[in-house]
Amino acid sequence: MPDFRFDYLIVGAGFAGAVMTEQLARRFGKRVLLVDRRPHIGGNAYDHYDEHGILVHKYGPHIFHTNSKEVFDYLSRFTEWRPYEHRVKASVDGKLVPMPINLDTVNLLYGLNLSGAELDEYFASVAERVPAIRTSEDAVVSRVGRDLYEKLFLGYTRKQWGLDPSQLDAAVAARLPVRTNRDDRYFTDAYQAMPRRGFTRMFENMLDHDNITLVLKTDYRDLLRWAPYREVIYTGPIDEFFDYRFGRLPYRSLEFRHETHEKEYFQPAPVVNYPNDRDYTRITEFKYLTGQAHPKTSVVYEYPRSEGDPYYPVPRPQNAEIYRKYQTLAETVPHVHFVGRLATYRYYNMDQIVAQALTTCARLHNCRRAELTNGRALPAYQTSAP
């Protein structure tokens, strides 16, 4: 009989891997070996104090929001929260206007003074008739017309994805609502908050358990020979797992340029989007997100790239078709479970990944997800200073 030192080998210490690890180790008493090829936990949500002592997100702005009480309560075992409602401005025609589109966006852009009801009529007059809403172009022009589409969506989307909005699923642009009131929040979810001491501290609390062995700076393939395990949870890119057998799945990458400025604030909003000029899509100023007081301020610029670390699955029909082939193959591989944004090729937010990981855990143990998340307050959360 082989000696299985570990019940699970979990590949990737981002949200998907960390939630699975936490539940399997703590809830089910499994011995888990968690491996990540990066030098840190947290995956793309990793944050840290930069050389100036400012808390920054290494891989671009991560703002937590969810409508799921279950997900919020689950994560609350590992962190306190700082209430935070995100706001974004877009730089268009020399003006900074609220994004998503609301009453002020339209009034500012066109020098109008419309009421909400008048804006409804305006949208109705400029909206294009689209027989079926399939693409991101359809989603926007059928709601707000071509001019606002061209001012706010066309350039940004071409830059972000290297594709025209007409080549992307409607769901991409439909992530942004259109409002006829003055609400300028980016999200309207019931729970909007940032982990008070940062995402990484929250992950540290999740993973602080004797059943968990963490190995960083290591590709899981380098562990396969010496680490006996029963099951694998894989959260990396699914095409890579299968050596690109059906071809590469496109993932969009980003290059991040971090800067610190010798002033208290750099820009008048947490995020400023640049749809029509500049090589970058947006600038984020972290102190707004974290609430940190500091005489200096750190920002990050995002430059979309076709090569580099995979950050975004690219939602369009031909990619879904390739993914389906990998998914079908994945279902035939015994003892390996695919979870997370890269492994299931879904443009999911953090809360959706948490829910997906909890669901997978419940499925592995033939129980309902609610059984994992209700009741029992766990002692993982610590209040020590950062």
Residue numbers of the site for ligand FAD (CB under 6 A)?
A: 11-17, 35-38, 43-45, 59-63, 219-220, 235-236, 254, 311, 340-342, 348-351, 353
120 binds, among ligand FAD, ligand UDP, none (CB under 5 to 8 A by kind): none
Both tokens assigned to 163: 């594709």
Both tokens assigned to 173: 């642009």
Is residue 380 involved in binding ligand UDP (CB under 6 A)?
no
- Minimum distance between the CB of residue 275 and ligand UDP, rounded to whole angstroms? 5
Our CB check for ligand FAD shows the closer of 122 and 280 to be 280
For residue 163, the tally of other CB atoms under 10 A from its CB is: 16
Report d(CA 58, CA 69) in Å as an integer: 28
62 binds, among ligand FAD, ligand UDP, none (CB under 5 to 8 A by kind): ligand FAD
Among 96, 108, 176, 227, binds ligand UDP (CB under 6 A): 176
Identify the residue whose tokens are 């929260």.
Answer: 81
- Minimum distance between the CB of residue 158 and ligand UDP, rounded to whole angstroms? 9
* Residue 199 CB partners (closer than 8 Å, separation 6+): 42, 45, 46, 47, 57, 62
139 binds, among ligand UDP, ligand FAD, none (CB under 5 to 8 A by kind): none
Inter-helix orientation angle 15-22/350-364, to 10°? 40
The kind and range of the H/E element at 20 are: helix 15-22
Degrees, nearest 5: CA angle 52-57-61: 130
Is residue 192 involved in binding ligand UDP (CB under 6 A)?
no
243: left (phi over 0), alpha (psi -120 to 50) or beta: left
- Minimum distance between the CB of residue 54 and ligand FAD, rounded to whole angstroms? 18
Q: Which of residues 277-296 bind ligand UDP (CB under 6 A)?
A: none
Per-residue x/- track, 155-174, ligand UDP (CB under 6 A): -xx--x-----------xx-
Query: How would you list the strands of the sheet with 312-313, edge to edge?
Result: 95-99, 88-92, 271-273, 282-285, 297-305, 251-261, 312-313
9 binds, among ligand UDP, ligand FAD, none (CB under 5 to 8 A by kind): none
Q: Which of residues 82-111 bind ligand UDP (CB under 6 A)?
A: 90, 99
- Minimum distance between the CB of residue 299 and ligand UDP, rounded to whole angstroms? 16
Number of residues that bind ligand UDP (CB under 6 A): 13
3-state secondary structure at position 334: coil
Report d(CA 348, CA 121) in Å as an integer: 34
* Residue closest to ligand FAD (Cβ): 43
Our CB check for ligand UDP shows the closer of 142 and 160 to be 160
Report d(CA 338, CA 284) in Å as an integer: 32
35 binds, among ligand UDP, ligand FAD, none (CB under 5 to 8 A by kind): ligand FAD
* Site residues, ligand UDP (CB under 6 A): 90, 99, 152-153, 156-157, 160, 172-173, 175-176, 273, 275
